[in-house]
Structure formats: structure tokens, C-alpha cells
Structure 1
């Protein structure tokens, strides 16, 4: 099968080096899409999703600061406001106007903050896709995943762990998926991940939801416990324009669990079915 991968590159935006991977079948003739992965997912791990999206969009998969090949280190700020500013600056640096902004988990929380800020001025976002964002926050139930799951697996990968070691963390994944995670997980900076995890419980993304004024699709995992039915009802009360779809057979890592179901969940939200 012919790949839609175009190139990987770096750009300086919001004061740091940001690395990204571009996937596109029709180049700049297609609408741009920025895809922001989750807490321990470098851009390369979303390549299999970007390949499919690139049939319709000019896709830019971002290495969030502290992950993959983007700038990293203890001195960087990994808070939600800074990471949201990274995305805005990235889009501006590459002149990605009227783009689709899609984020998974952590990336979806950052995307909410970007779009909420955009409602107060920046109008570069055309549509917003939120893929199973953690709905934890001040005074709310904690995020169901535990921090040692991330920290322990990263430390093992820094020591050279392979597929077998990763299987105990992701027992339902294929060897190919586990191999890619083992190869790249060591690039996730421990402080970045810890700060992000803490932010899941300290940052109030619900306060941003009422101000979202671009078409928004929420894709929730049917088998996961990140977004419960009560959470879905609260989101609807906060912003009744948000469309919600559940992928019945998938856990939090939705396209890993149900690849076709993930793309079917978009329906006609982005135009032609994916």
C-alpha cells in the first residue's frame, strides 16, 4: 500500500523546537488538520491513524513538548496553558488556517483550551474533535489510570525494554503496536508526563466547554471508564452543541482497539465519511 507520509520536520514556535510528521495525499490542496496525541504517545505512534486521515486532509501530527523529537528537559513548562499556546503558535508558524484540530486524551484537553482561547479572538480553528479526553479536575473523580503505569513503563523503556516487557502494560495490543511503543516511549520526559498527569486533576477544562463556538465532536470509548454516561450528560448541559459518539467496542486507546469503528464514529462531521 502506498504511504501518505510526506516528511518529518521541525519548526520553532512559542519559543521551542516543535517536531511534527506530515501525512497528505493532496498536499496543500486539502484542508489542514492538526492531530495532538496523548500523554505518552509520540507523533509516530499515531502514524497509522494519520495515514487514513490523509486521504482527506493535510495532516500534521505533533510531538507535544517533552515527547518524541520535540524540545524537552526539566526547565520547560508542561502546563496546559503553555501546551495550548504551543499548538496555536505551531498553526500560525505553518500558516494552517481554518484547520481541523483533533486531540486524543491529553491532546484533547489541550485542544479544548486552544479552542476556548480562540473563541476570544483567534478564529483559525474550523472544527474540533475531542477523542476521549480525561474529565477529571478540581473536586472531580480522579483519572482512572494511575501514574506508576506511565512512570514504570517509561523507565523500563529507557533501560531498553522490548515487546515482552510492554505486554504487561498493554496486554491487548498487537506485537507491532507494542514494538512501536517500546521503541519510542523512552522519548517521553518523565517530568513532562508527571506534570501532565497532575494537570489532569488540577486543570478545570469544564470551565472552557461553554465557550466553545466551533463545531465540536466528542468521540468516547464505549468500554472505557474515562467518560461515563454522567460525564457525557454534564458536557451536554455545559454545551449542547457538542456532538457525542461512542465507539462501543473500544477502550481509551480507541483506534488501537477498533480501527474501523473509530473512523466510522466521525460520520459526516468532517464532510465525507472517513
Structure 2
């Protein structure tokens, strides 16, 4: 049984009258995040590459477009506070990537970053977006970099959140351990405790509000992850070959504005690796957000928004 509301047809579902949206507005007010209570917000579906994808659409259709790609074991809702704030000025489209959130699982277990990058490219094309800003976190950042290497002419600018050509294997192992331990629970309280152990920067109230987007209630009463449990889907096992990995030499060919955001206490993107990545980018800018680990935009949403909005104004 699903715990959240989303469109179950091809018609967009207005989310602004739901308790979920009212809860989000309350969270934004508590955290002091600038937002508009009457922003357009809808749950939508689209068929891409013979699969059904769910996405969240925020803001006016004629506003400058931003596409958001979430990290592994997360969903489009991981961006909700960011999307709510950005939607005052931008059209924000947050995609549930294959095997995640409310999108379809891959029938052939094709969860390579290359495949996901092709999904994102197909989404941009199918939605008729004219050179959007593409922002990706962790797994979504890897997918965004692969898309950029292949088709950067489609993009106005790129935002990469706490990932790069060089990542910490210790941090990768920590993520893998959390994911493997977060597959099945007797109750939601157990899941909340596990998330708090992994990400102490997020408040308990915020985790409780978003738990519905990460879990399903099974027929036997247990709660299970909404994500496809096959380990290939998360990028935990590093891909092999040039189609799956971005190098610093690849980054030197990214001839567009790029914002690299690192969490000040990140265990994935170490400070020296972030500096090497930013130095390789012809138009790169590195911003380190304090009081945040790997999940930068969830841990310090205001700090993340300050970095991103300054970048967006510069590339407008």
C-alpha cells in the first residue's frame, strides 16, 4: 500500500489541496525558507523509452526551466523544499528516476548510470525544454555529468551536488551499508531511527514528514523500501568503462557554467577532490555548504538555496 499521494493516470494531479502540501508549507515556515503558498504544484506521469516515469512539476509553465535529479534510494520528493522555494521564479521539474519513487521499475534490471542519463535526456526532449539548468545530487549528479558529456548543447548550465570524478570509497561503503539495512522494517519508527543514525543533520520532524515517500506498507504489515532492491540500481557498485564514469579530462570539456556544491562534512566528496574537480571545469564554481554532510540540500536547505540561487541569477 502506498503511503503518499501521486497521479495514477496520464492527467496531472493538482497537489496544492493535499495534506502533504500543507505539511510541506509548515516545514518551510519552520525552517525560514522563502516560499509562496499559492505556487502551482502537480504530480505527473510520462512515458519515456518504453517506461512510465513520475515527476513533480512546480511553478509556471512559462518560467525558466530547471530539472532536478535525486540521489540513490531517494525520490523527487527529496527536493520538495528546494522546489517549493525555486518555484517562485522558475519552472521546476523533479524526476523520479527509474526504480525510484513512484516511477516504474526496470523490467530488465537496467540501472546503469548511462541508462539513467538517457532517461533524463529523453525527459528534457519530450517535455520540450529549451536549455534547462540541470541539477543532480549523488547518483543524479553522476547521471547529469554523463548527459552533459554526451549532449551539453541541450543545457544552459549544470549543478552537481556532492559527487564528482573522484569519490571516497569509505563514504560509498557507508551509503551501501545504510541502503542494505533500510529494506524492511516492522514499523516506521525503526526506519526513522536508521535515517537519523545515517544523517544526523536532518531533523526528526523532517524525516517523519518525508518517510511516506520512501516506504510502502506490505500486505503482512511490514514496511519496505519503494526502491527496487537490486544493488545495481544505486550506483553502489562502480560502473566499468567510459560510458559509466566521468574523468577530470571529461570535465575539462564541460563548456558551460557549472556549480559544484559540497557538504562541509561530506564523507563522499572530499575537499581536495572537490577542488580538483572545480579547477578542471572551464566555467566551474565550488561552494561548500556548512552544517551539511552528503545530503546537502536536505541537511542545510537554506545554505544550499543561497548557493544555487546565486548561481542561477548569474547564468540567467
TM-score by length of 2: 0.76
> What residue is the counterpart of 2:51 in the other structure?
16
Given the alignment of the two structures, is residue 262 of structure 1 paired with residue 308 of structure 2, yes or no? no
User: Cα RMSD (Å) of the superposition?
Assistant: 2.5
1:46 counterpart SS class: helix
Map residues 185-204 of structure 1 onto 2, 5 A cutoff.
Answer: 185=214, 186-191=225-230, 194-199=233-238, 203-204=244-245
Closer, same or farther: CA 35–215 of 1 in aligned 2, 3 Å: same
- TM alignment of 1:112-151, pairs within 5 A: 112-119=145-152, 123-136=153-166, 141=169, 143-144=171-172, 145-151=174-180
SS of residue matched to 1:211: coil
Q: 1:251 to 1:167 in 2, by over 3 A?
A: closer
Question: Is contact 1:135-1:227 (8 Å) kept?
Answer: no
**Residue 226, structure 1, aligned to residue 268, structure 2:** yes
Deviates more, 1:128-137 or 1:201-210: 201-210
1:170-213 alpha-carbon deviations (Å, 9 max, x no partner):
34422232224432222111116655211368742125312211
Q: What is the 5 A alignment of 1:26-45?
A: 27-45=60-78
Alignment CA distance shift 1:14-1:268 (3 Å): same
Question: What is the Cα deviation at residue 152 of structure 1?
Answer: 1.1
- Larger deviation: 256-265 or 110-119? 256-265
Alignment check: 8 A CA contact 1:98 1:126 kept: yes
| Residues 5 and 37 of structure 1: CA distance in aligned 2, closer, same or farther (over 3 Å) | farther
Residue 66 of structure 1 and its aligned partner are, at CA, apart by: 0.3
- Deviation larger for 91-100 or 65-74: 65-74
User: Does structure 1 retain, via aligned residues, the 8 Å contact 2:156–2:256?
Assistant: yes
Q: How does 1:51-70 map to 2 (within 5 A)?
A: 51-70=84-103
Inter-partner Cα distance in structure 2 for 1:208 and 1:23:
32
Task: Give structure 1 stretches of 5+ with no counterpart.
Answer: none
Question: Contact between 1:34 and 1:61, CA under 8 Å: does it hold in 2?
Answer: yes
Asked if structure 2 preserves the Cα contact closer than 8 Å seen for 1:39 and 1:193, the reply is no
3-state SS, counterpart of residue 313 of structure 2? coil
> Deviation digits for residues 227-251 of structure 1, max 9, x if unmatched?
2232123214432421111112221
Whether the aligned pair in 1 keeps the contact of 2:66 and 2:92 (CA below 8 Å) is yes
Deviation at 1:112, TM superposition (A): 0.5
TM-score with structure 1 setting the length? 0.86
Change in Cα spacing, 1:168 to 1:200, as seen in structure 2 (3 Å) is farther
> Residue 65 of structure 1: CA displacement?
0.4
Count of residue pairs brought into register by the alignment: 264
Unaligned 5+ runs, structure 2: 1-24, 26-36, 215-224
